[in-house]
Structure 1
């Protein structure tokens, strides 16, 4: 059962490097459908994987060397993410899986429409 997780990680890493995405858009749905996790388990597992900065750090160094990274801005975002992750994880662990799955689907549709329209 290790291979599916490695493939999910590779896909998330490639898309993270290309588009700056990975956790919510790739890892969480993959864990729900491939590993048959609940949305809460998938979100928790994704957050834990993202805590290990190896994959993101390698990509960030590449962007930094090319002059496409603002480290101070990234630190402020990380601080906001810490606060937001605490609140979001509290909400996610206190709603049922179906509600969380539907809310996630609405978020993804909304983001897709916004990106498509501009």
Structure 2
């Protein structure tokens, strides 16, 4: 691994980590596109990289910061979701690895668009 690659990987990690901690996005939303654009990864490789990074509890400290800052975080809910996330991740990966890369990119992009439109125009969050 060259120094340039290590610096690029550190930059990707810092960007994804910063966005994860500040606005709750990082894995798929940030790391997948950055891995494709800057590392030349395929969609499958980028998704695998994103999942591999999240295999370690990298966001625990950020979540703990929110919790200790007075924001009500129900760890029981998080645990239940995490268990279901593992199962869903396994099932989703079994399907994704067999999809054509172009189809996978289209599905990924469509999901990002739908979420973006919903967040921008139909945000029903209650304070």
TM-score for both structures, normalised by structure 1: 0.94
SS in 1 for 2:25: coil
Q: CA RMSD in A?
A: 1.0
1:88-99 matches, cutoff 5 A: 88-99=92-103
Equivalent in the alignment of 1:56: 59
The yes-or-no answer on 1:15 pairing with 2:22 is no
Equivalent in the alignment of 1:87: 91
Larger Rg, first or second structure (1 or 2): 2
Residue 67 (structure 1) shift: 2.9
Number of residue pairs the alignment of both structures matches:
117
> Which consecutive unaligned segments of at least 5 residues does structure 2 have?
123-127
Residue 57 (structure 1) shift: 1.5
Higher helix proportion, which one?
A: 1
Equivalent in the alignment of 2:105: 101
Q: Which runs of 4+ in 1 moved over 2 A?
A: none
Residue 28 (structure 1) shift: 0.6
SS in 1 for 2:78: helix
Return the alpha-carbon distance in structure 1 between the equivalents of residues 62 and 89 of structure 2. 22
